[in-house]
Amino acid sequence: MSDPRAFVSFDFDHDERSKILFVGQAKSDSPTPFTVHDWSSKTALPQAEWERLVKGKMASTNMCIVLVGRFMATATGVVKEIAMAKDLDVPVFGVYVDGAGSNSALPVGLQRNRTIAWKWDVIAAAVDQMMDEGKNA
């Protein structure tokens, strides 16, 4: 597989720690055949600047991985990032973090059947699927 680039979308107010752990594990500890490039915004920015920056980064990725935490219902930025990904034909899938699970609220635009547990073999299979979808987009 080529070296896929993933935009990691997460609830900046609640799931930054999970994002740091996810990206760190993906880069070093995970038994997966890919490298996650963390192209998410590292700081809070004015809205217009944030949207311009995110859209540019999203356009340069192969997929968007949404980290779905317990407070996803309040994560309006995540909803915007999912919409941007869809507008750019960037495949999207979710990974449950921070105690979230199949009964947790999902952000608008993220499908339940495309949201998975934080298990690296399952994530690797989802990355393979996203790469295949991206080729067909």
What does each of the 137 residues of the chain score in pLDDT, given as a tens digit?
A: 467 888 899 998 899 899 989 988 887 766 666 667 666 666 777 889 989 988 998 998 889 999 999 998 888 999 999 999 999 999 999 999 999 999 999 999 999 999 999 998 899 899 888 888 766 55
- Domain of 88, in residue numbers: 6-136
Residue 25 pLDDT: 85
In sequence order, the β-bridge partners of residue 128 are none
Residue 1 lies in a domain: no
Residue 111 lies in a domain: yes
- What is the number of structural domains in the chain? 1
Residue 100 lies in a domain: yes
CA distances from 73 to 7, 13, 61, 77, 125 (A): 20, 12, 25, 11, 27
Contact 66, 93 (CB under 8 A): yes
